[in-house]
Amino acid sequence: MIASQVHRKLYGETVAEAESRQPKNLNMPVAQFVETIKGKTVREVTSKGKWMFLKLEPSLFLLINLGMYGELLYYVNRQKLPERYQFKLKFSDGSGFTIFFSWFGYVHLVAEKDLKKHRLTANLGANPLSSDFCFERLEDLLSSKKKTRIRKFLLDQKSISGIGNVYVQDILFQSRLHSNREISTLPQKEKQDINNAIRDVLNLSIQHGGLAYEKDFYGQKGKFDRTKFLVGYKEGRSCPVCGTIIKKIKAGSTSSYICPSCQR
Ligand SMILES: [Zn+2]
């Protein structure tokens, strides 16, 4: 889900109708949901982890989580809609979007004053690409987790949200850090390297339209695939920096991919 794309397209649109074919995705009865969202205008669209936040004026938020896999697709007036969808929103100009959940997802409406009480999003960590995220913030987060290994920290959605297994491999590689390094052993310079690497890797994915197995707002598949990775999922291949063979190592319940020479 690329929030900036949704923001650019929907900013200023006013909701005319909502439809839910799977009421369990909602956090209130369908009729109440439809009544509450009608007439509201879309303002900022942002994201944190798997959640997209659409601010609706006045004083409401629409929160969307596509779950394991889902499609959030824009349509223009009179365009043929996808056959499968569980949720649809229509704006006053006839355009709108549909949501298809392959498994299960959420479409919640929350009053602005209750946003901090929304159980599923209240404890999400900072979005490292948001304008209020900075190096000092990352330093504070790292200082509070000194005994934690760096990979585990980066994947913990309560500290920083939005870094998954696909991204963490190259963030560590770019920072020249072994996945098992304990945070307490990191000098200042390496903390700065992590900060830069997080932004570089996540931004690169956005530049390529997101992950290859996800669709964007216009139904285009992302182009951020294995060919763009540096060491992630490349065991047996050569390190792009030093040529050493990339290794796959066990890290918790998943795997980590590292260059044993570059990452210490
Ligand atoms: Zn290397």
Domain boundaries, the chain: 3-122, 135-210+225-258
Spatial distance between the Cα atoms of 178 and 172, rounded to a whole number of angstroms:
7
pLDDT at residue 208, as a whole number:
87
- Phi/psi at 68 (5° precision): -60, -50
Q: What is the pLDDT of residues 143-163, one digit of tens each?
A: 999 999 999 999 999 999 989
Q: How far is the CA of 230 from the centre of ligand 1 (A)?
A: 10
Q: How far is the CA of 162 from the centre of ligand 1 (A)?
A: 26
Q: Establish whether the linkage from the previous residue to 29 is cis, with ω within 30° of 0.
A: no
Q: What is the pLDDT of residues 64-115, one digit of tens each?
A: 999 888 999 999 998 999 999 999 999 999 999 999 998 899 999 999 999 9
Which H/E stretch holds residue 37? helix 30-37
Please give the average per-residue pLDDT across 47-75, as a whole number: 94
3-122 under CATH 3.40.50.360, yes or no: no
Q: Is 27 strand, coil or helix?
A: coil
Please give the average per-residue pLDDT across 19-26, as a whole number: 96
Please give the average per-residue pLDDT across 51-74, as a whole number: 95
- Phi/psi at 83 (5° precision): -65, -40
The model's confidence at residue 1, banded by pLDDT at 50, 70 and 90, is: low
Q: Which fold has domain 135-210+225-258?
A: Helicase, Ruva Protein; domain 3 (1.10.8)
User: What DSSP designation does 177 have?
Assistant: -
Residues with CB under 5 A from ligand 1 (ion): 239, 241-242, 244, 259, 261-262
Q: Are 227 and 240 in contact (CB under 8 A)?
A: no
For Cα atoms 67, 124, 4, give the angle at the middle one, nearest 5 degrees.
65
Q: How far is the CA of 235 from the centre of ligand 1 (A)?
A: 12
Q: How far is the CA of 256 from the centre of ligand 1 (A)?
A: 15
Percent of the chain's residues with pLDDT above 70 = 100
For residue 147, give Cα distances in angstroms to 91, 142, 236, 264. Answer: 50, 10, 31, 17
Q: What is the pLDDT of residues 155-188, one digit of tens each?
A: 999 999 989 899 999 999 999 999 999 999 999 9
Q: How far is the CA of 82 from the centre of ligand 1 (A)?
A: 46
